Amino acid sequence: MSDLKPIAREIFEQTLAAVDARRSVCTKLAREGSVLRAGDWEADLAGFSSLRVVAIGKAAAAMAEGLTEVLAPDFPMEGILVVPSPPLRRVAGLKLFVAGHPTPNGESFAAARAILDLVGRANGRTLIFFLLSGGGSALVELPLDPAVSLEDMAELYRALVTCGGSIDEINVVRKHLSAVKGGRLAAAAPKAVKLTLAITDVPPGRESALASGPTLPDPSTVEDAYRVIERYGLFDRLPASLRPAFEQRTLVETPKAGDPAFSQSHFQLLLDHHDLFHHAHRAAEAHGFVTLCDNSTDDWPLDRAADYLLDLIVRHKQSSPGHPVAVIADGEVLCRVTGDGLGGRNTAFMLYAARKIAGRTITVLSAGTDGIDGSCPAAGAVADGSTLDRARATGLDADDSFERSDSYTYFARLGDAIHTGPTGNNLRDLRILLHE
């Protein structure tokens, strides 16, 4: 049996290198003198009295560097940069907050207050650049109700991310409790011209889920939020300060399409799943694999997604006899946390898949493009038909590790965890399946 794990790793690494956040800003923004263009949007920067920047997310530092490159030296900017880990370089003019993820911390609250103050001072001659990427929901947070504490919000986040709900469902609740989500940042600067540049880790057409949509109209409602809490039995897991809003159904509605806050608001996508697919497809083809892409498993339970993708690659191999084949998939899978081990949805997906491919000539990799998978320090893992036997020889039990949500430990001991460190980017999770 050939060892295809190194090739799967190479395809993943080559894809990460190709989806560069800084370069995407420089490519999608064009400046000629004082005129700036982003897609169909155009503005004369000379007509503004101030340029402000709010950069939030795992790719925020790289995006801010790209914007500086486009604007400098003629148009200096001031603003705020919020990231989950210290950037390699400081960005001139931006106040740095290193905030919490996947649960908010004190810096998340401080960043939200600073952003609300910054945008609240904007007027009709202010241009605000919002640079958004994945992870922003936790990085910038402030409850609408001042009686709700940081500890309460952290408890809420932990309940939401472990309940097995989709990112849309999680965000519906967060939006309706937050002073900065669900379009409320746009509403805080109603007269300013606002340009949101986004690198998205959410499905197409659901951009309002990115960082919980701070600058976009919110399509969800308070009724949706009530239903999520009921569906996943979360009421008893809510902190006491949040229960009355759900028990008495007194949540405040978020701004919707048509609200005056969005009349001067514009949105431009910089990188999305199409870019991820394009570069992963090219990398797999360059390694000699007949490759197809599939994005149908987003928000599926991990077992259903794995079964579907494994069946797909077997059928793909049957239709391409004599050739090695690859399937590239993206998106998040649903993964309930049932133990106190180390892991995330990607390593859990891999632990399930490893049992399904035992003894077969199939290799599978699943990893997050942000370099972080749940509670563990890895981006994900890789496995092939020999993984289960190798693990048993070292005393590892796949069923036990899965039940304890300890998938990272399983793969780390085998040397098959994928460690990239924070990548400074965040598109979507990437899954690579190879079949000889």
Per-residue pLDDT tens for 146-158?
999 999 999 999 9
User: Per DSSP, what are the bridge partners of residue 266?
Assistant: 195
Q: Sorting pLDDT into bands at 50, 70 and 90, what band is 203?
A: low
Joined together, the tokens standing for residue 170 give: 């999680």
Q: Is 243 helix (H, G, I), strand (E, B) or coil?
A: helix
Q: Does 3.40.50.10180 match the CATH number of domain 20-271?
A: yes
* pLDDT tens readout for residues 164-174: 888 889 999 99
What average pLDDT does the structure give for the chain? 93
* pLDDT tens readout for residues 336-380: 888 888 999 999 999 999 999 999 999 999 999 988 888 789 999
Domain boundaries, the chain: 5-11+274-435, 20-271
Residue 426: the pLDDT is 80
Per DSSP, helices labelled H in 370-425 are 387-393, 398-403, 407-414
**In whole angstroms, what is the distance from residue 289 CA to residue 434 CA?**
8
Residue 204: the pLDDT is 65
Chain-centroid distance, C-alpha 124: 32
**In whole angstroms, what is the distance from residue 202 CA to residue 426 CA?**
10
Q: Sorting pLDDT into bands at 50, 70 and 90, what band is 181?
A: very high
Please, which residues have CB within 8 angstroms of residue 278's CB and are 6 or more apart in sequence? none
Can you name the CATH fold of 5-11+274-435?
A: glycerate kinase, domain 1 (3.40.1480)
* pLDDT tens readout for residues 59-73: 999 999 999 999 999
Q: Is 289 helix (H, G, I), strand (E, B) or coil?
A: coil
Q: Is 314 helix (H, G, I), strand (E, B) or coil?
A: helix
For 28, list phi and psi in degrees, rounded to 5: -85, -15
User: Per DSSP, what are the bridge partners of residue 79?
Assistant: 53, 94
Please answer whether residues 408 and 378 qualify as being in contact, where contact means their C-beta atoms are separated by less than 8 angstroms: yes
Q: Is 131 helix (H, G, I), strand (E, B) or coil?
A: strand
Give me the amino acid identity at 197.
L
